């Protein structure tokens, strides 16, 4: 089996990310929150370590949303009619994203909370 050029792998990956960002409401919301978070990090002149933690946290949540879209697409293709097992798979994937998003909120509060608190004091 011949390998495809690396360019095509990147192109396809960006196409998949683009699909998720265009079609998934939650991915749009998570991206917007991520952008606002990074703007706040810039405004507060956070140290590089905090930037790294925030960037990684945002990336993990968005990657989980991509994974959730994968699960939903596969389940819909395999089981177009209602199935309890399909529902469980889709709910569990959505639950994983929710857990990561809640964890991201905690990370954001730990990092951005103190400078925000000082701003309102």
d(CA 92, CA 117): 35
d(CA 33, CA 69): 19
Catalytic residue among 30, 54, 65, 69: 65
Q: H/E element holding 46?
A: none
To the query of whether residue 84 is one of the catalytic residues in this protein, the response is: no
Indicate which residues carry an active-site annotation: 65
């Amino acid at each position: 089996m011949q390998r495809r050029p690396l360019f095509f792998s990147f192109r396809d990956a960006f196409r998949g990310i683009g699909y998720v960002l265009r079609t998934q409401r939650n991915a749009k919301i998570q991206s917007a929150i991520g952008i606002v978070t990074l703007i706040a990090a810039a405004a507060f002149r956070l140290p590089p370590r905090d930037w790294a933690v925030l960037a990684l946290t945002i990336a993990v949540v968005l990657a989980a949303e991509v994974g959730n879209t994968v699960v939903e697409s596969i389940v819909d293709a395999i089981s177009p009619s209602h199935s309890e097992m399909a529902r469980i798979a889709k709910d569990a994937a959505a639950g994983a994203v929710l857990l990561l998003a809640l964890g991201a909120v905690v990370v954001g509060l730990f990092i951005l909370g103190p400078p925000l608190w000082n701003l309102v004091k």
